[in-house]
Structure 1
Amino acid sequence: MGINFALRINDLLSLKVKDILNKKGEIVEYLHLREQKTKKEKKIKINSAVKEALEYYFKKANVTDPDN
């Protein structure tokens, strides 16, 4: 994900399931976050490669609830 999103490791590690899944349990089209180091707001499109990887991971980990 990091290489596709151009995020620092701290920002990647701070992501939560609720940042990635909407209330229906679907992967959002864009991530909205504030970079920890610069405090800049970022809107990042989730590309197809990342979406596939996340879908695979969530399926294997049985993650469906965005509040986890």
Structure 2
Amino acid sequence: MSRKGNCLDNSPMENFFGILKQEIYYGKTFRSFNELKNCIEKYIKYYNEDRIKAKLGYLSPVDYRKLNAA
């Protein structure tokens, strides 16, 4: 995703990981790597399928893509 000399390529992923850390990581203790992995996988599913975004007209990314794919 990143091109040499173009740091803006990383900003969408940096934004996502910042939100992920705020919402599921900071302040929590995980008993195992698998527990953390499962939590991240559930969050990614939630983020893409259920979490609405103002930038997308208050739709989830999946719903926005479906609406605009036609």
**What is the TM-score of this pair, normalised by structure 1?**
0.32
Higher relative contact order (CA 8 A, sep 6+): 1
Which structure: larger Rg? Answer: 2
**What is the TM-score of this pair, normalised by structure 2?**
0.31
In proportion to residue count, which structure has more strand? 1
In proportion to residue count, which structure has more helix? 2
